[in-house]
Amino acid sequence: MKKIGLVLVVASLWLAANVLAQQQGDIFEALHCGGCHKSDVSAASPSLKEIAGAYQAKEDQLVKYLKGEAGSIVWPADGNLMKRAIEKTKALSDGGRKALADFIMGHGAHGE
């Protein structure tokens, strides 16, 4: 009986983690960020992997950037291309911005 309980707890934790990752990704999709940013291939825009690498151990700074309170560090010369997207991320709740930052950071070397 104990074993079944443990299996259920593990299964529901696994499910919760997946639902969370899904919701984080939903914000990214809902704001149309994926039209420019791919997971791991940088082209006209840096990939999420490249962004996560640049912000490694600096997620707080990434959250500030998404709030419009910090400058860009990845491709600063192209920073104006993010102006409209930043207007959208500024309008998110603090929790929404954190979830979005978590989603981006999940593409770094220690994520996934």
List contacts with ligand HEC (CB under 6 A): 31-33, 35-37, 45-46, 51, 62, 65, 72-76, 78-79, 81-82, 85, 88-89, 100, 104
Closest distance between ligand HEC and the C-beta of residue 99, in Å?
Answer: 11
Helix, strand, or coil (residue 73): coil
101 burial type by CB count under 10 A (0-12 exposed, 13-18 middle, 19+ buried): buried
Rounded to 10 degrees, the C-alpha dihedral 98/35/81/24 comes to: 0
- Which is nearer to ligand HEC, 11 or 68 (by Cβ)? 68
- Which is nearer to ligand HEC, 49 or 89 (by Cβ)? 89
Closest distance between ligand HEC and the C-beta of residue 103, in Å?
Answer: 9
- Which is nearer to ligand HEC, 16 or 20 (by Cβ)? 20
Give the separation between CA 8 and CA 105, rounded to whole angstroms.
29
Give the separation between CA 44 and CA 59, rounded to whole angstroms.
23
Closest distance between ligand HEC and the C-beta of residue 48, in Å?
Answer: 8
